[in-house]
Structure 1
Amino acid sequence: MTEDPYAPPFEEEAPPAPVERAPRKSAAIVPAQNIAGRALVVVIAIMTFLSCITFGAVTLVRDTALMWENQISREATIQIKPVADLDMDSALTTAANIATEFDGVKGVRIVDRAATTRLLEPWLGSGFDIEQLPVPRLIIVTIDENAPPDFAAMRDTIKTAIPSATLDDHRTWVDRLVAMAHTTVTIGVAILVLMLSATVMTVVFATRGAMDGNGHIIEVLHFAGAEASFIARQFRNRFLFTGMKGAAMGGVAAIVIFIVFSWWSSRSMATPQGDQAAALFGNFAIGSAGYLGVLMMVAVIGSLTAATSHATVVAYLGDLEGGHGEA
């Protein structure tokens, strides 16, 4: 049979093109989103917030105590009580001259009648005659902090010249402030340790729950040859992200609280309430060191979350190997 010269050339059928399939996305050992993960973020945020508030409060009290201590240690007070046959003006001048003679005294200031009246007005009201009241008069002695005077000798000299006069170097108040500051720092550190311990326990339970929910996958990977470090790294990375997310939320909330209190303190500075608060706690500003401490607290809690989950997974896999070895 002759071929038709006008027939089209024979073409072989091309093989079907391979169907391109999208690469299967491997499922994570630790689910990215689950109820336990979201709850853990909230718990870590709350713990971080409370830890940062505690740290800021300790910093605020410590700074305020140091401010009080510095102010008190720079001054001493001579008090002269009015008694019969005492010329108060002469006694004030005599006591001031005696204090000036001691080395370490930088200045002496007699609190005059007008200033004494203003000090008593919150309790006695206005319009009273201070001369008709047995009110002690005060002398403020400014001292050199680096080279304070001999208070014992000054006290004896003033007492000899003016029997009704007393010298207060505020040492009792300074000792109480130092003790209060140390106690506050100790209590704050103890509270921080308790909160960090609670965070660790929460992460342990959350890690155990995540491992129980994915136990079959972990066992298959482990006995198929996956190293414990690989499995632990998956949990560590997931919990590091969870811990940093919750810690950042709590740290930001704490910083906002400190900024709001500082703003309120600055706005209320001219009011009686604001003046009293400023006298007790300063301007509610924790300073750059306090904010740096908050950031460090966020980093510590995030890192602690990751380290705790890693240790929990390693311990779990160790128990798993031990259990199968005994079986």
Structure 2
Amino acid sequence: MKRPDLKSLDFAALWRGLTRPDVAGTDRVVPPTGFTAQLTLFSAAAMAFLAVFALALALATGRLAERWSTELAQTVTVRISAPPDQIDDQTVTVMEVLKTTPGIAQSKLLPDTDVEKLLEPWFGPDVPVEALPVPRLVEVTEAAEGFDAEALRLRLQGEAPGAVLDDHTRWREPLVSAANRLRVLGLISLLLIGATAGAMITLAAKASLAANGQVIKVLRLIGARDITIATAFVRRFTRRAAIGAAAGTVLGMGAIWLLPAADEAGAFLTGLGFQGWGWLWPLLIPLASAVIGFVATRWASLKMLREVR
């Protein structure tokens, strides 16, 4: 980077800018161009872009875990597997047992068309359900107060030996746990992105301070305090961090907006992105970037000014 020409500096104007915060020339000692400015803008934009996706992942997996936990916890299934000459009688028995069980709001025997849809991902369309030894399925919706699953299991075992109660716990809990872990990973990613942005801004601020070493020495000779000199760097780098993060946030939100809809993307991407008021959350990223830039630059500036006397 080209060193500032000390002979061309207007020290009177520079001193007024450093000692009066309302003067626009407060950060005049910081070079407006060069690799430090480009590094700060690029790193802030890149980190903000990644932060949008990390935030979208955290919010989406949180919604997914809540939906799976709520919806699957309210439904259970009774599977009836019995010899052909007994399956009709056991089905009638199961339906009567479910009607008289406290805590069950509704029970419905799934027709062959619904069972065919359940088997379609594995066997393809037009599955001959009637020709296959497919068990009959009864979908049970529990009431708000819930029911005693163990008591119902024992009653079915005694009155309909071919009936098995499945409350989805065996595969529901791993799914909810996986979604919660993905949410935690998204939040950890946000913290790592913020730390990386702070490190990059710190390096850029130190490089700018090193390049302006002669200017800093002259300012000290005319009575400028370290906090006053540091303020000039803090303002410039905070502004750069906010501008870069705003650009990255806009690009990230645009990329999220262009993601395929849930019905086009499949089950894995269902709900990925922002919904409703959730679109306001990314707007906090430029503010957070400005805070990180302020803290990182202030710490780096004061630390380096104390070391260099």
Gaps of 5+ in 1: 1-23, 322-327
Could you tell me whether the CA contact under 8 Å between 1:200 and 1:308 is conserved in 2? yes
1:314 is aligned to 2:308: no
1:305 is aligned to 2:293: yes
Gaps of 5+ in 2: 1-11, 15-24
- Structure (1 or 2) with the larger CA radius of gyration: 1
The 3 A distance-change label for structure 1 pair 285 and 203 is closer
TM-score calculated relative to the size of structure 1: 0.81
Q: Bigger CA drift: 184-193 or 36-45?
A: 184-193
SS at match of 1:77: strand
1:161 is aligned to 2:149: no
Distance (Å, rounded) in 2 between the aligned partners of 1:168 and 1:280: 24
Distance (Å, rounded) in 2 between the aligned partners of 1:183 and 1:228: 46
The 3 A distance-change label for structure 1 pair 100 and 79 is same
* Identical-pair percentage: 24
Alignment partner, residue 206 of structure 1: 204
Alignment partner, residue 174 of structure 1: 172
Distance (Å, rounded) in 2 between the aligned partners of 1:125 and 1:213: 68
Q: How many residues align?
A: 288
Distance (Å, rounded) in 2 between the aligned partners of 1:259 and 1:43: 23
What do you get for the CA RMSD once the two structures are aligned?
2.3
The 3 A distance-change label for structure 1 pair 129 and 243 is closer
Alignment partner, residue 114 of structure 2: 115
Distance (Å, rounded) in 2 between the aligned partners of 1:107 and 1:59: 33
What is the one-letter code of the residue matched to 2:286? V
Could you tell me whether the CA contact under 8 Å between 2:103 and 2:145 is conserved in 1? yes
Alignment partner, residue 219 of structure 2: 221
Deviations 1:74-100, CA, capped at 9 Å, x for gaps: 2110011133642x2332222122122
Query: Could you tell me which of 261, 266, 273 is aligned with 1:265?
Result: 261
SS at match of 1:247: helix
1:109 deviation in Å?
0.7
Could you tell me whether the CA contact under 8 Å between 1:81 and 1:164 is conserved in 2? yes
Alignment partner, residue 129 of structure 2: 130
The 3 A distance-change label for structure 1 pair 106 and 281 is farther
Could you tell me whether the CA contact under 8 Å between 1:61 and 1:281 is conserved in 2? no
The 3 A distance-change label for structure 1 pair 127 and 235 is closer
Alignment partner, residue 141 of structure 2: 142
1:30 is aligned to 2:30: yes
- Please list, as runs of the form range in 1=range in 2, the aligned pairs for 1:182-261 lying within 5 A after superposition: 182-261=180-259
